[in-house]
Amino acid sequence: MYCAFLRLSLAFLLVSLGFTASRADETLTYRWQGIDRTAILHIPEGAAGHAAPLAIVMYGSDDKAVNFQKNSGFDAVADRENFITLYPEAIDGAWNIKSKRPAINGEPVDDIGFFRTMIDDLVTRGIVDRERIYATGFSFGALMSYTLACALPDRIAAIAPVASAINEAQVSDCKTGHPMPVMMINGTGDEVQLYDGYIRSFGRLLSVPETTEYWRRIDGCTGENSKPLPHLNPHDLTRASLVQWSGCRANTGVELYRIENGGHCWPHLAVAGNGDPVDGPRFGGCSNDIETATEVWSFFKRYRLD
């Protein structure tokens, strides 16, 4: 009995030590517009105790921060590369991106104020490096990354929207002529945020070529080149290529991962031994030729605010 109790106590101690050895994610809470707004903060061991780079990662409509934290693959990259990730929670599963306006007490949600408050708090507390703050997102989260680039160019160093172009209302509101490094990932077969854009009751979504041209002009890029990426899985019906614009203004760049036959998804690498991916998921084919979080961070880490 004593030995069994000792073994049980030792096991409990080891489990406890295991939990205390790893950093627990923190849920940040800010009172904004009379309600509590939250976000999940992930700080790897290598990013603790000093001002580290921050990637703000935003989900698409009707998702949750905890789900996207798990599915995006960003924390694994952050742990390896020693940067911080932040997963904000939207109101009613939607961001205020001019085409969809969630409300609080009858007033439009002030997402910009919420993001500014979070960023300034983390910088003031010495957690985040103010010169290396980045924004990425999927679908409507991608649209929110455009909004942040336009509204907070003094705080955001680069953006990487996935599975959406920019909408016309955002372009109208954007601070004219402010350079911004932009990396996009878009599928030509996206049936949700169409590659060629659309016109609906809440406004017009620009096409992907119009969006890259918009940022190319702002960043002053003068050249363009494209290269196909290695195709890693013969069962994957998509093909990926990387388009890069060159000769841009100092400390900017524009890139597009163009996924032929790609649908509305967040691409992940093919993993040997995991079985064949399903061709044609609910929102179209999903490329297995790139790992989105890895490519996004590879782009981000090249840039910082002046």
pLDDT band at 306 (very low <50, low <70, confident <90, very high): confident
User: What is the residue range of 65's domain?
Assistant: 24-300
Q: Which residue has the higher pLDDT, 66 or 19?
A: 66
Q: What pLDDT is attached to residue 11?
A: 37
- Is there a domain that residue 226 lies in? yes
Q: Hey, what are 237's tokens?
A: 């019906």
DSSP for 137-168, written as a single string:
EETHHHHHHHHHHHH-TTT--EEEEES---BH
Q: Let me know if residue 17 belongs to a domain.
A: no
Q: Which tokens hold the place of 166?
A: 């920019």
In this structure, is residue 284 part of a structural domain? yes
Q: Which of 58, 108, 126, 62 is nearest to 86 (CA)?
A: 58
In a domain, residue 15? The reply is no
What are 257's strand-pairing partners?
185, 242
Distance CA(114)–CA(156), nearest Å, equals: 14
Q: Domain total for the chain?
A: 1
Q: What is the CA radius of gyration of the chain?
A: 21
Separation between Cα atoms, residue 10 and residue 57, nearest integer Å: 39
**Does residue 8 lie within any of the structural domains?**
no
Q: Average pLDDT of 227-239? A: 93
Higher pLDDT among residues 297 and 174, named by residue = 297
Domain CATH code at residue 105: 3.40.50.1820
Q: Per-residue pLDDT averaged across 128-145, rounded?
A: 97
Q: Answer whether residue 214 shows pLDDT above 80.
A: yes
Asked if the structure places residue 198 within a domain, the reply is: yes
> Would the pLDDT of 254 be above 60?
yes
Q: Is the pLDDT of residue 263 over 50?
A: yes
What percent of the chain has pLDDT above 90?
Answer: 76
The residue whose two tokens read 């940067």 is: 83
Q: How far is CA 270 from CA 27, 256, 259, 266, 288, in A?
A: 32, 20, 15, 13, 5
Predicted TM-score (pTM) of the model is 0.89
Strands 182-187 and 198-200: unpaired
Burial of 299 (0-12, 13-18, 19+ CB in 10 A): buried
